[in-house]
Chains A and B, each alone.
Chain A
Amino acid sequence: MDPTRETLSAFIDGELPPKEMERIAALLATRPDLDAWVRQQETLRAGMKSALSDLAAAPPPERLVRIAQTTPISWRWRLGRAGQGAILRTWIPAGATLALGLLIGIGLVPPGDIGSRGGQVVAQGALASALNGKLASDNGAGSGPRIGVSFRDHDGRYCRSFDADGQSGFACHGSRGWDIAMLAARPNAEASGPYRMAGSEMPDAIRAAIAARIQGEPFDIKAEKAARDRGWQ
């Protein structure tokens, strides 16, 4: 019985079991009509592939590259997970002004790390020092606030996420120093030590806020260091 067109087609694509591949190959040697069909298909496939591969070899248009480069996939994926994870116990949104009294009232503020300046909640003490001088790669095993990602926001300001004493947040550098843009309690803060790596445990609300504000990509080590050496200006 003649093989079906489906069988011949699967033969061309090498999708038959080895024994069947051998059987069809032997059959084609004795059947010029079937062999011609297979050869024709192979020619068509080569033609299509060759024509379309020329296109694939050409550099893609700038507009496509720009869109695809907007955000590295791993980072965007992590941010995209926002809203799917644990529900925050408490979070303080990034408003024009955060009320220091409110933060203290709900126990979000590590003593000495956050204060108020000109009506804006700002980082101070150990947190301000870490935001000014610490690189994410310096977190190590030591104590103190930990630095997560650094990036530029849509206003062009340098921003950094941090993790300090059970809270996560991010701050952006302005004329008064580091304005706290957002602060949230880490869901499992009790289970960890007083300080923990920002990023891996970043609350979803923080991720979402950063995703909304980030311009381009988070800094790599080199860009982070360069920005620090320029004083975040």
Chain B
Amino acid sequence: MVQLLPRLRRFAAGLTGSIADGDDLVQDTVERALKNLHQWEPGTRLDSWMFRIAKNRFLDVRRGRKRSGVVSGEIPEDAPAIRSDGARGAEAHMMLRGAAQALDGLPPEQREALLLVTVEGLSYRDAADILEIPIGTLTSRIARAREALALWAPEG
């Protein structure tokens, strides 16, 4: 499980948009994984299982914050989802801050799909399994995420 930490941190930072929040999410994920290890079937991929826990915890926390009013507004999944402060230079993407900002403008469902495929390098099949969605839905979410990012970023 220790070997998975770097990848989990990367995924969590991308999801939350911050290293600190990401590490909190990783801690939560690892604790839950240890508590629920009987649900993991040996022979299946441990990394996929951990990513799924992280994704679910991220959405749980987000829903909780939304209910308590911490998050002011959820972006509809099918919206272009561009932040008003998004017009930054392409070079910003070379830094975590820039990458996180670009991702932060996406609805969480698009963000997690894009991260698993583009950053973690998973196949559509593996990513769809983790997110528990059909491949067609995954393909569509990634395409919409890319359309949003294309509007956000200058021509490359």
Max count, chain A CB within 10 A of own CB: residue among B37, B90, B98: B37
Check B124 against A13 for contact (C-beta < 8 Å): yes
Check A55 against B30 for contact (C-beta < 8 Å): no
In angstroms, Cα B52 to Cα A32, docked, is 39
Check B99 against A80 for contact (C-beta < 8 Å): no
Which residues of chain A in 28-46 are interfacial with respect to chain B, using CB atoms and an 8 Å cutoff?
Answer: 36-37, 39-45
Q: Quote the shortest CB–CB distance from A66 to chain B (angstroms).
A: 10
Selected from A5, A47, A53, A67, the residue in CB contact (under 8 A) with B147 is A5
In angstroms, Cα B155 to Cα A37, docked, is 8
Render B1-33 as a binary contact track against A, CB cut-off 8 A, 1 for contact.
110111101100110000100010011001100
Interface residues contributed by chain B, number (CB under 8 Å): 51
Which residues of chain A in 63-77 are interfacial with respect to chain B, using CB atoms and an 8 Å cutoff?
Answer: 63-65, 67-71, 73-74, 76-77
Residues in A neighbouring B40, C-beta threshold 8 A: 77
> Residue A176 at the B interface, CB < 8 A?
no
Q: Quote the shortest CB–CB distance from A166 to chain B (angstroms).
A: 27
In angstroms, Cα B147 to Cα A4, docked, is 11
Which residues of chain B in 136-150 are interfacial with respect to chain A, using CB atoms and an 8 Å cutoff?
Answer: 139-140, 142-144, 146-147, 149-150
> Residue A117 at the B interface, CB < 8 A?
no
Residues in A neighbouring B147, C-beta threshold 8 A: 5
Check A55 against B5 for contact (C-beta < 8 Å): no
Residues in A neighbouring B93, C-beta threshold 8 A: 43-44, 47-48, 51
Check A52 against B13 for contact (C-beta < 8 Å): yes
In angstroms, Cα B117 to Cα A12, docked, is 11
Residues in A neighbouring B73, C-beta threshold 8 A: none
Nearest-CB residue, chain B, relative to A40 = B156
Render A51-62 as a binary contact track against B, CB cut-off 8 A, 1 for contact.
111111110110
In angstroms, Cα B34 to Cα A198, docked, is 24
> Residue A213 at the B interface, CB < 8 A?
no
> Residue A132 at the B interface, CB < 8 A?
no
Check A40 against B150 for contact (C-beta < 8 Å): yes
Q: A37-B150, A60-B6 are in contact. Are A6 and B30 (CB under 8 A)?
A: no
Q: Quote the shortest CB–CB distance from B125 to chain A (angstroms).
A: 9
Residues in B neighbouring A55, C-beta threshold 8 A: 6, 9-10, 13, 19, 96
Selected from B27, B36, B37, B142, the residue in CB contact (under 8 A) with A67 is B27
> Residue B69 at the A interface, CB < 8 A?
no
A/B interface sample: 16 pairs, CB < 8 A: A13-B142, A44-B146, A47-B90, A48-B93, A50-B94, A51-B96, A55-B13, A60-B5, A60-B6, A60-B9, A60-B23, A68-B4, A69-B1, A73-B1, A77-B38, A81-B38
| Interface, chain B (partner A; CB < 8 A) | 1-2, 4-7, 9-10, 13-14, 19, 23, 26-27, 30-31, 34, 36-38, 40, 42, 46, 90, 93-96, 98-100, 102-103, 115, 117-119, 123-124, 139-140, 142-144, 146-147, 149-150, 153, 155-156
| Interface, chain A (partner B; CB < 8 A) | 4-6, 8-10, 12-13, 15, 36-37, 39-45, 47-58, 60-61, 63-65, 67-71, 73-74, 76-77, 80-81, 84
